[in-house]
A = this chain, B = another copy of it.
Amino acid sequence: MNNTLLLPLPGNDSLADALATRIDAEIGKVTVRRFPDRESYVRIESPVEGRTVLLCCTLDRPDDKIMPLLFLAEAARDLGAEKVGLVAPYLAYMRQDHRFQPGEGITSFYFAQLLSSVVDGLVTVDPHLHRHRSLEEIYSIPCRAVRAAPAISNWIRTHLPRPLLIGPDRESEQWAAAVAAGAGAPYLILEKIRRGDREVEISLPMADRWRDRTPVLIDDIISSGGTMIEAVGQLRRVGLPPPVCIGVHAVFADQAHADLLASGAGQVATCNTIPHPSNRIDIGDLLAEGIRSLLTLPPSSPE
C-alpha cells in the first residue's frame, strides 16, 4: 500500500489527479454532504491508518469549506493517520493582515491559528504576503509557499510575442518582477497619482517606448477585478493594444470575469490553483515539488 494518500474534497478531484503520479501517491475518497439541518457530514472511505494523508482543498470561498475540512482532518487523525497535511493551492484569509479600523479582527492570523491546530503541514501557491513576510509568521506548522512565477514565465515565453509585464499597482511588483525576469522581458508598475480625494489617475511611464510590445498585466489575485479593470482602461487610453491579463488565482467574485473581458482586456489567463474557465497555466509540477519538499521526499529527477 502506497503510504501517501491524497484525499480530495468536493471540487478538488482534478487537483488530486494532477498530483498523484507526480508525488507517487494514491487517491482516496471522502464523502462530504449536509444533513437537512445544514450540519456537515464527513466520511473517509479509504484506509488512513499509519499513512500520510494530504487533504486537497483549494480555499476560495472558504467559509463553505472550512467545517468539512476541519472535520476530515480530525477524522483522519482519529482513524490513525500518521500525518495530516493540507494542499490548498489558493490560501484564504491572507488579506486582512492588519487592524485597519479599531475593533477589527485580524483574520489572517486567526485563520492561520485555526488551520495550524488541525493539520501538520501546508502547501500553497503564492499566498498574498503583504504585511506578513512569510507564512511562518502566522502559521505554526511547516509551510511551503510555492511560487507560480516559473510556470507563468514559461507560458508567456511560449505564447506571447515581445511581452511587456505590467503590475497594476505597487503591491503587484513582487509578481511582475519575478515573472518578467523568468520570461526575459521588461516590466513596469503603474502608479496611482491621487489628485484630491476622489480623482485617481494612473501614470504609465514612457508609454511611447512600449508601443510594439504585448502588454501583459499581472497580479496575484483577481477577485472583484477592480484593480485589473482600472489598469486595462488606463493602458487602452494611452493607446496600447488590449492587454493580456494574468492572475495567479482566479477568485473572480460574482461577475468579475465577464466584467474584465468587457473592460477591454484581451485574453485572460490564470493558473489552475482555483478551477476556472480562464485556467491556462499549469502549476502541477511546482506544486508537486512543494509537496515533496514538505514531505522531505527527494526532488523528482529532471526529465
* A-to-B contact residues, CB < 8 Å: 34-46, 60-64, 66-67, 70-72, 74-75, 78-79, 92-93, 95-96, 101, 103-107, 109-110, 113-114, 117, 221, 223-224, 251, 253-254, 256
Contact = CB atoms under 8 A, between A and B. Distances in A.
Given A64-B63, A66-B66, A67-B62, A107 B36 contact: no
Contacts of A37: 60-61, 221, 223-224, 251, 253
A74 to B, nearest CB: 4
Contacts of A106: 75, 78
A37 B34 CA distance: 23
B107 A40 contact: yes
A270 to B, nearest CB: 14
B254 A36 contact: yes
Given A70-B110, A75-B104, A36 B224 contact: yes
Nearest to A36: B253
Contacts of A60: 37-38
A67 B114 CA distance: 10
Contacts of A93: 39
B253 A43 contact: no
Contacts of A67: 62-63, 66
A93 to B, nearest CB: 6
